[in-house]
Structure 1
Amino acid sequence: MIDAKRKASGSNGDAASYYASQVGASSGPVGGSLVKRQRQDEGDDGAGALVAISSDRQGKDKGLMRSVKRTSSLQAPIVSLNGAHGAEILDVAFSPDGAYIAAASADRTISIWTTYGDNTNIGILTGHSKAVTSLTWSKVAPAHTPVLFSGSADGTLIVWEVLSGTKVRRLRGHKGIVNCVASTRSFPQLLVSGADDGIVLIWFWQEESRPREAIQVGYPVTAVEFSEDGSQVYVAGLDNDVHIYDLTQKSILYTLRGHTDTVLSISLSPQGTHLASSSSDGSIRIWDVRPFAPEPLPGQKGNARLQKTLQGLSIGFEQALVRCRWNKSGSRLAAGGGDRTATVWDVEKAEILYKLPGHRGTCTAVDFHPKEPIIVSASFDQQLLLGGECS
């Protein structure tokens, strides 16, 4: 463990393109160590509100700023977590208990932050040789020993024991950039990853460093997710569709069609009944993935599993893998965007509730806190923004 504390500093200007960051960043230490760093104190004017941009029902910004009552237990309405990275942040996620935040960067490192108190940057995980493109926490690991999984442009995944900075295992099997990784809610040993090599790999990460099973997709895979019980894998990529694979039957059960451009991310609802897919076509679609064929909605044409279409997803010229996530109740969805904001939708009404400004580059990823009304966003501007949800 290397103790190299320093004051964090902000970043200025937009970052380079997402593709350039994927093929290898030159900064950042390598070696599997945990480098402790300290975030600079952010100013707190003592205000009890945060700021959001109102939107009309068609998802168009009115450009009006409004104050919203703060509902979380954070010390400030909004906090900038910066200074830990020297390149774009590509993914962010709260730990299952909400105590920590992990951020993946093109500088080849992962920063770990505390959610509460002074929002301390408790360490940097190093070990990948190229951009860290995606991450996910183990959903079943004990809270006192949180486990994190990361995927990288170096073609590998790493299993981390976060608080000690220990690199538990490196997983090798892909021959291209790893774009996505997901863990199960039911089985602690299962992990799935997808890559530019057109292959989805299933891992028993506690036992082996090589994949247990491979699914040949045939085109770059951008998003993967497990079903609630872990028996199915949802796979999306450059063919604009989401395919549901049955791991027991080793075949495709059905396909969700409707997007007209690349699917960028997929996210399973907290109840395990619906899947959200964000796409370069500017929409997020909500699909019923329960194990039955639902009746089509009145007047509906096409896939009967399509329940809602959320419009207004902003896609920048970088064509980043803009990720969407559900809140804890399943009533809201959030996603980043090329307009430098985090957008939050009301799922039932299929309307934009608000946009959270503050980033100076494409907002690549967002996540909702698992217990409190708190949201975090990541961006090409090398910072995280942490704040309370708008009521």
Structure 2
Amino acid sequence: MKTEFKFCNLLGTVYCKGNLLFTPDGTCLISPVGNRVTVFDLVNNKSYTLPFSHRRNIAHLALNPRGNLLLSIDEDGRAILTNVPWRLALYHFSFKTPVSALAFSPSGRHFAVGIGRLIEVWHTPSTPNENTEDGLEFAPFVRHRVYAGHYDTVQKLEWSSDSRFFLSAAKDLTARIWSLDPEEDFIPTTLAGHREGLTGAWFSSSQEEIYTVSQDGALFQWNFTQRPTKHGDLDLAETEEAPSQWRIVQRHYFMQNNTRVKCAAFHAGSNLLVAGFSNGLFGLYELPEFNMIHTLSISQNDIDFVTMNKSGEWLAFGASKLGQLLVWEWQSESYILKQQGHFDTLNALVYSPDGQRIITTADDGKIKVWDTQSGFCVMTFIEHSSGVTACEFAKRGNVLFTSSFDGSVRAWDLIRYRNFRTFTAPTRLSFSSVAVDPSGEVVCAGSLDSFDIHIWSVQTGQLLDQLSGHEGPVASLAFAPSGDTIVSGSWDHTVRIWSIFGRTQTSEPIQLQADILHIAFRPDSKQVAASTLDGQLAFWSVSEASQEAGLDGRRDVSGGRKISDRRIAANVAGTKFFNCIAYSTDGTCVIAGGNSKYICLYNVQSGTLLKKFTVSVNLSLDGTQEFLNSRNLTEAGPRGLINSQGEASDLEDRIDRTLPGATRGDLSTRKTRPEVRVPAVAFSPTGRAFCAASTEGLLVFSLDNALQFDPFDLDLDITPASTITAVQSKDYLLALVMAFRLSERPLIRRVYEKIPVADISLVVKNLPTVYLARLLRFVVQETDESPHLEFNLRWIEALLSAHGSYLKDNAGGFASELRIVQKAVVKIQADLARLADDNVYTLDYLLAQPAPTSANGINGKGGKHMTLLIDRDGSEELDMDDEWKGLGDDDGEDVG
């Protein structure tokens, strides 16, 4: 089994904190999700997460005008410059202190950074041979100038359209105008008059007006005008011109009762201002008349950030309290994007049998369905009234089963997206685990309150039986993929194998040394794995009830110390066991995760650790630190545990609304110091990816990473130019092999599409088998992205026809490729069936139309005709003229 899994996407979290960005073309939205950055493609309905990660949560993002350089800065002031198209981190840099504002100039040559009450302007790192003679740069970040003058933290920075000036808005109730370089007759100007800290300041499109907004809901318009003369200055005004300066010419107020302006954005081209308030309401206004266009409530909590795309048509909102992200088109009053992640701890996850969807459950009582291709949440179920503890798919059909602390087990139809069956016990129980018969006829659930296993019939909803035998709470259940037995793990140190479909429901107890936390069946139903509280993984034969292998994972899983721990990371208690385990698709490996920042991949037969995956390096989470830093220790204890909320400058920020002593269920406490943990892991049915539910969200690790340059058997003569030459000389097999050796996807696609249909079978027949797996994966990916449906199917048919016997003899090595081929063909079949169903009534209507009355097929007044031809074999053929628009009789009326 291949182990080169790389992080490829983060689901389950769409926005945490910080600012949102639109790309220059306005089609993509960039959002900070913890210490990572996710890009949402709003046109193609896809999302992906950039591979780099910060050591703290990201506080600020900025994108250069070309859209190829992204500057992200975390809470500690550490910055990463990223090439967005290639998803590569170019430079790491530290500003030494936290950053409060960030903005690129429209020219792209500079960016301004607010550091406390100072403003620093830096040169944008450029390509090496632009500014240097030798093509090398030792320090890419060069500071241009430092600006001082504010008395409190700078909140917002905004550049003028010509990049010569910029505005700064600060908490000291003022906005200031600065010049990038010294300008003749220009003096830095202070705009004072607001009564509270400023949220934003902007230039108009002509740069003749300035708009400023403060937190108390005041909007001021400033113009560069002469000072109005008084009656005593008439003589002076006639002989001497009054000096010009920036003055307030209009004062407007938002008039939202008992709310504050949390964020605002201005679009200079259309003079639109959007403001987000602390009650979840936002308003859209037209300036300078201050006409209100729209108001809409999108959240029950603060709107943390708002921005507009370049055309001013789409508004993006982020609310961190509940993790909401919204893109709204104000002209049509419609949602472009509306996403929200879980706002409580994830408990379980499961892949759908076709691998297209991932279902997650959490303590917030919600069940979310995520699309693996797009990365978006397509459905949310909210019927459960308490935390949802487990979920399981029936192997046949689109039926999902979930268990909850509210005392119910529910069955969900994922075609119609509805709850069609609810199972309950005779007494009120909190169900903690669920298992489903592969046929979907029987569902079982275990509870922490009762030691029995409850069994229901899915068809009738009746309770069939209660299995007794355990002497402790049932922690985990699993049905054999063959469907004949069920295995249960309990806190009474035993694993029991039940034959519930036999005439006598007997159980075979297996004694272990500690509490059972999780169990999993091997795909062939011959082996079961159990994770125990003492950090052991035990592998038992189901037929013999004997242990086949075992391994100690305490040293592998332990890692990361909490901020209050007085021990090193290797000796921290509570992290030396696995909460969840899952077999790989081929059954040779098992993956396990626990209350630490590591996920371990083991080989079952040899008991060796193949690879350790790091869940997160985010120091904003508890349990990710490896070493104790004495600088963070004070006389009162660790610095991170000292509550500095009472020292905030705003009254609203000083109020402490947290529950005393609450560490779970209280959202404000959870957002402050959440602990890193992995409650669930699962392998994709294709075997090419696995998913882990963590504190940060849903981490997807995959073997397919198209943007990584992965050359294969390269030679000096193999270049893109020589590959194109081979295509032009119609040596298609050589060109295809050279493209796969270079492993550059655009080049492979170019060669692939140049091969004529008549030559496909010949090329495939002579293709070396070493390239077979790569070509299969490439063709399957093309079926999702390219419109050439029949062309791709011809390739799949030729591959399976020419190399079918080889694939059958080496089924183990090509198992994942054959699964994704099957998945692609099934998806094409479903799409075509849906398309035919959509058009069947249209075709029936056209075929039911009467034939033309005249002999030559021309009706009455015109050359608009439709003839229905009967073929020799009796089949009907529809022939429509290009100019035909409808049937009409001699009077011009429609024939109906």
Give me the TM-score of the superposition, normalised by structure 2.
0.32
CA distance in structure 2 between the partners assigned to 1:283 and 1:11 by the alignment: 39
CA distance in structure 2 between the partners assigned to 1:94 and 1:365 by the alignment: 12
Establish whether residue 343 from structure 1 lines up as the match of residue 600 from structure 2.
yes
Larger CA deviation: 123-132 vs 156-165 = 156-165
- Residue 19 of structure 1 is matched in structure 2 by none
Establish whether residue 353 from structure 1 lines up as the match of residue 610 from structure 2.
yes
CA distance in structure 1 between the partners assigned to 2:692 and 2:386 by the alignment: 22
**1:268-318 deviations in Å (ceiling 9; x for gaps):** 10011000111111011111112xx3xxxxxxxxxx710111221547738
CA distance in structure 2 between the partners assigned to 1:371 and 1:322 by the alignment: 24
- AA partner of residue 131 (structure 1): G
CA distance in structure 1 between the partners assigned to 2:444 and 2:576 by the alignment: 24
1:171 positional shift? 0.8
**Pairing partner for 1:363 from 678, 684, 691:** 678
**1:50-69 deviations in Å (ceiling 9; x for gaps):** xxxxxxxxxxxxxxxxxxxx
1:106 positional shift? 0.7
- Residue 202 of structure 1 is matched in structure 2 by 455
- AA partner of residue 378 (structure 2): I
Matches within 5 A, 1:96-111: 96-111=353-368
**1:219-266 deviations in Å (ceiling 9; x for gaps):** 211011223443332111111110112222444342212x32111111
More strand by share: 1
CA distance in structure 2 between the partners assigned to 1:92 and 1:176 by the alignment: 22
Q: CA RMSD in A?
A: 2.8
Matches within 5 A, 1:161-176: 161-173=413-425, 175-176=428-429
**Pairing partner for 2:388 from 123, 126, 132:** 132
- Residue 737 of structure 2 is matched in structure 1 by none
Q: Residues 89 and 382 of structure 1 are in contact (CA less than 8 Å); yes or no, is this contact kept in structure 2?
A: no
Q: Residues 588 and 603 of structure 2 are in contact (CA less than 8 Å); yes or no, is this contact kept in structure 1?
A: yes
**Pairing partner for 1:43 from 34, 39, 50:** 50
- AA partner of residue 604 (structure 2): V
Flag the 1:188–1:260 CA change in 2: closer, same or farther, 3 A: same
- Residue 819 of structure 2 is matched in structure 1 by none
CA distance in structure 2 between the partners assigned to 1:215 and 1:129 by the alignment: 27
- Residue 688 of structure 2 is matched in structure 1 by 373
- Residue 856 of structure 2 is matched in structure 1 by none
**1:327-381 deviations in Å (ceiling 9; x for gaps):** 11001111111112221111111111112213451111100011132010002x1
**Pairing partner for 1:277 from 521, 530, 548:** 530
Determine which structure has greater relative contact order: mean sequence separation of CA pairs < 8 Å that are 6+ residues apart, divided by chain length. 1
Flag the 1:320–1:156 CA change in 2: closer, same or farther, 3 A: farther
- Residue 256 of structure 1 is matched in structure 2 by 510
Q: Residues 161 and 168 of structure 1 are in contact (CA less than 8 Å); yes or no, is this contact kept in structure 2?
A: yes
**Pairing partner for 1:312 from 538, 541, 553:** 553
Query: Could you say what secondary structure the match of 1:342 adopts?
Result: strand
Flag the 1:320–1:150 CA change in 2: closer, same or farther, 3 A: farther
- Residue 74 of structure 1 is matched in structure 2 by none
Q: Residues 590 and 604 of structure 2 are in contact (CA less than 8 Å); yes or no, is this contact kept in structure 1?
A: yes
Flag the 1:123–1:230 CA change in 2: closer, same or farther, 3 A: same
CA distance in structure 2 between the partners assigned to 1:223 and 1:287 by the alignment: 16
1:7 positional shift? 8.8
Flag the 1:323–1:358 CA change in 2: closer, same or farther, 3 A: closer
CA distance in structure 2 between the partners assigned to 1:321 and 1:131 by the alignment: 21
- AA partner of residue 42 (structure 1): T
- Residue 333 of structure 1 is matched in structure 2 by 590
- AA partner of residue 289 (structure 1): V
Q: Residues 111 and 121 of structure 1 are in contact (CA less than 8 Å); yes or no, is this contact kept in structure 2?
A: yes
**1:141-189 deviations in Å (ceiling 9; x for gaps):** 1xxxx1110011111111011243201111111632211111123x321
Establish whether residue 387 from structure 1 lines up as the match of residue 641 from structure 2.
no
Q: Residues 220 and 238 of structure 1 are in contact (CA less than 8 Å); yes or no, is this contact kept in structure 2?
A: yes
CA distance in structure 2 between the partners assigned to 1:170 and 1:99 by the alignment: 25
Flag the 1:110–1:336 CA change in 2: closer, same or farther, 3 A: same
CA distance in structure 2 between the partners assigned to 1:163 and 1:236 by the alignment: 32
Matches within 5 A, 1:24-39: none
Flag the 1:152–1:115 CA change in 2: closer, same or farther, 3 A: same
Query: Could you say what secondary structure the match of 2:489 adopts?
Result: strand
CA distance in structure 1 between the partners assigned to 2:523 and 2:477 by the alignment: 16
Flag the 1:321–1:183 CA change in 2: closer, same or farther, 3 A: farther
CA distance in structure 1 between the partners assigned to 2:87 and 2:604 by the alignment: 30
More helix by share: 2
- AA partner of residue 152 (structure 1): S
Establish whether residue 238 from structure 1 lines up as the match of residue 244 from structure 2.
no
CA distance in structure 2 between the partners assigned to 1:96 and 1:365 by the alignment: 17
Query: Could you say what secondary structure the match of 1:371 adopts?
Result: coil
- AA partner of residue 104 (structure 1): T
1:319 positional shift? 9.7
CA distance in structure 1 between the partners assigned to 2:594 and 2:424 by the alignment: 31
- Residue 345 of structure 2 is matched in structure 1 by 88
**Pairing partner for 1:151 from 397, 403, 426:** 403
Question: Percent of pairs identical after alignment?
Answer: 21
- AA partner of residue 615 (structure 2): G
CA distance in structure 1 between the partners assigned to 2:378 and 2:521 by the alignment: 29
Unmatched runs of 5 consecutive residues or more in structure 1: 1-5, 13-37, 49-81, 294-303
CA distance in structure 2 between the partners assigned to 1:232 and 1:183 by the alignment: 11
Q: Residues 375 and 389 of structure 1 are in contact (CA less than 8 Å); yes or no, is this contact kept in structure 2?
A: no
Unmatched runs of 5 consecutive residues or more in structure 2: 1-11, 19-44, 52-83, 89-338, 559-572, 622-675, 705-812, 814-896
1:83 positional shift? 4.8
CA distance in structure 1 between the partners assigned to 2:588 and 2:579 by the alignment: 20
Query: Could you say what secondary structure the match of 1:157 adopts?
Result: strand
Q: Residues 13 and 340 of structure 2 are in contact (CA less than 8 Å); yes or no, is this contact kept in structure 1?
A: yes
CA distance in structure 1 between the partners assigned to 2:580 and 2:698 by the alignment: 15
- Residue 445 of structure 2 is matched in structure 1 by 193
Q: Residues 147 and 160 of structure 1 are in contact (CA less than 8 Å); yes or no, is this contact kept in structure 2?
A: yes
Query: Could you say what secondary structure the match of 1:277 adopts?
Result: strand
**1:169-217 deviations in Å (ceiling 9; x for gaps):** 11111632211111123x3211111111112011211221x32111123
Q: Residues 287 and 306 of structure 1 are in contact (CA less than 8 Å); yes or no, is this contact kept in structure 2?
A: yes
- AA partner of residue 198 (structure 1): F
Flag the 1:90–1:286 CA change in 2: closer, same or farther, 3 A: same
- Residue 9 of structure 1 is matched in structure 2 by 15
Q: What is the aligned residue count?
A: 307
Query: Could you say what secondary structure the match of 1:322 adopts?
Result: strand
CA distance in structure 2 between the partners assigned to 1:108 and 1:348 by the alignment: 39
- AA partner of residue 350 (structure 2): A
- Residue 579 of structure 2 is matched in structure 1 by 322
Flag the 1:39–1:283 CA change in 2: closer, same or farther, 3 A: farther
